[in-house]
Amino acid sequence: MKIALVSPIEETVPPILYGGIEWIIYYLASGLGKKKHNVYLLTTANSEKKGNYNIIPIYHQSIRKIEPYKSNIKIRENAKFIAISKTLNFLIKEKFDIIHNHASWRFLLFEELFSPQKFLTTLHGPMNFDYQNFVFLNHQNSYYISISNNQRRDLPQLNYIKTIYNATDVNYLQFKEKNDENYLLFFARFSKEKGPDKAIETIKKTKKRLLLATKVDKNDQEFFNLFENELKNNPLIDFKGEVGLNEKLKYYQNAKALLLPIMWEEPFGLMFIESMACGTPVVAFARGSVPEVIKDGETGFIVNPSDDDIRGDWIIKKTGIEGLCEAVERIYSMSEKQYLEMRRACRAHVEKHFTVERMVDEYEKVYNEIINNTK
pLDDT score, position 298: 98
pLDDT confidence of 374, banded at 50, 70, 90?
low
pLDDT score, position 333: 97
Q: Which of 283, 240, 260, 256 is nearest to 195 (CA)?
A: 260
Q: Is the pLDDT of residue 375 over 50?
A: no
pLDDT score, position 363: 98
pLDDT confidence of 181, banded at 50, 70, 90?
confident
pLDDT score, position 70: 83
Percent of the chain topping pLDDT 90: 87
pLDDT confidence of 244, banded at 50, 70, 90?
confident
323 neighbors 303 (Cβ within 8 angstroms): yes
Q: Is the pLDDT of residue 117 over 80?
A: no
The pLDDT of 33-55, averaged and rounded, is 96
282 neighbors 257 (Cβ within 8 angstroms): yes
User: Which phi and psi (to 5°) does residue 82 adopt?
Assistant: -65, -45
CA distances from 355 to 15, 33, 129, 170, 297 (A): 19, 16, 30, 7, 22
H/E run at residue 31: helix 21-34
The pLDDT of 160-167, averaged and rounded, is 98
107 neighbors 85 (Cβ within 8 angstroms): no
CB-based contacts of 12-19 (< 8 A; 24+ apart in sequence): 12/43, 12/44, 12/46, 12/47, 12/48, 12/62, 13/41, 13/43, 13/44, 13/47, 14/47, 14/48, 14/50, 16/244, 17/215, 17/242, 17/243, 17/244, 18/189, 18/215, 18/242
Q: Quick: pLDDT tens for 209-225.
A: 999 999 888 788 999 99
Q: Is the pLDDT of residue 184 over 80?
A: yes
pLDDT score, position 110: 95
Percent of the chain topping pLDDT 70: 99
Q: What is the set of domains in the chain, with CATH numbers?
A: 2-167+355-373 (3.40.50.2000), 184-353 (3.40.50.2000)
The more confidently predicted of residues 245 and 345 is 345
Mean pLDDT of the chain: 95
273 neighbors 294 (Cβ within 8 angstroms): no
The pLDDT of 56-77, averaged and rounded, is 90
251 neighbors 187 (Cβ within 8 angstroms): yes
Q: Quick: pLDDT tens for 272-284.
A: 999 999 999 999 9
Q: Quick: pLDDT tens for 19-29.
A: 789 999 999 99
Q: Is the pLDDT of residue 369 over 90?
A: yes
The more confidently predicted of residues 176 and 198 is 198
What's the predicted TM-score (pTM) here? Answer: 0.94
d(C-alpha 178, C-alpha 358), whole Å: 27
